[in-house]
Amino acid sequence: MNSAFLQSTVAQAAPLAEVCQQEQRFREAIALHGAELARFMAGYERDEAKRRELLQELQLALWQSLAGFKGDCSLRTWVYRVAHNVGASHVQRSLRLREGKGLDLEELEASESASLSDQGAAMQQTERAIDLARIMGWIHRLKMPDRELMLLYLEGLDAAAIGEVTALSARNVATKIHRIKALLAAKHRAGSA
């Protein structure tokens, strides 16, 4: 057999094996974390149609990124890093388009009421659904770093895992989550009294 032919065949097989491994990792990531990712992306986009597009964008970015996944962190951490980047980019694009402004913790504390005008349909649902919509509305009004912390927390990540995704210290994450939870609890008590 010709050695040049053999080298060519081996060179062509290597990228194919990498693509197969990438495909396997992608399927594993979606099987294990697909539902989490869908909920996580809901924190970045309220509109259902735009949310589906955002989820497709995330899946494409995840597929592309897995070619560079070396296993230096867990697959879950990798998936959330990609989701964080896609979500943050989406919010930045949205803000540029509508030139809106999110609220930081202090601004949210200062605001007297959270509007449910765009969630009028939620008023017809159970009290729990109303409470959840109200809380998610407040979370959506937070600036992106704080919003993202809460969304990751609501997905069940601990402070250390959130720190890996966001590049913050676990202590900083825990402190911010504690402050946000206290703020949301106070707003919830004030809104349901």
How far apart (Å, rounded) are the C-alpha atoms in residues 177 and 153?
8
Question: Would you say residue 158 has pLDDT above 50?
Answer: yes
- Asked whether 114 and 137 are in contact (CB, 8 A), the reply is yes
Are 145 and 166 within 8 A, CB to CB? yes
pLDDT of residue 128: 64
Task: Tell me the pLDDT of the chain averaged across its residues.
Answer: 77
Is the predicted pLDDT of residue 148 greater than 80, yes or no? Answer: yes
Give yes or no for residue 16 having a pLDDT over 80.
Answer: no
Of 91-95, 136-140, 149-153, 168-172, the least confident = 91-95
The percent of the chain in helix, strand and coil, each rounded to the nearest 5, is 80, 0, 20
Mean pLDDT of 163-180: 92
Nearest CA to 131 out of 188, 57, 64, 74 is that of: 188
Is the predicted pLDDT of residue 114 greater than 60, yes or no?
A: no
Q: What is the pLDDT of residue 89?
A: 84
- The rounded distance, in Å, linking the Cα atoms of 46 and 116 is 13
3-state DSSP assignment of residue 142 = strand
Distance CA 167, CA 126 (A): 38
Q: For the chain, which domains are there?
A: 8-100 (1.10.1740.10), 102-193 (no CATH)
Contact present, 150 and 102 (Cβ < 8 Å):
no
pLDDT given at position 105: 64
Q: What is the structure's pLDDT at 124?
A: 40
Question: For the segment 26-73, what is each residue's pLDDT rounded down to a tens digit?
Answer: 999 999 998 888 888 888 888 888 889 999 999 999 989 988 888 888
Range in 29-33, 61-65, 74-78, 187-191 with the lowest mean pLDDT: 187-191
pLDDT at 1 > cutoff 60: no
Whether the pLDDT of residue 193 is over 50: the answer is no
Q: Does the pLDDT value for residue 10 go beyond 80?
A: no
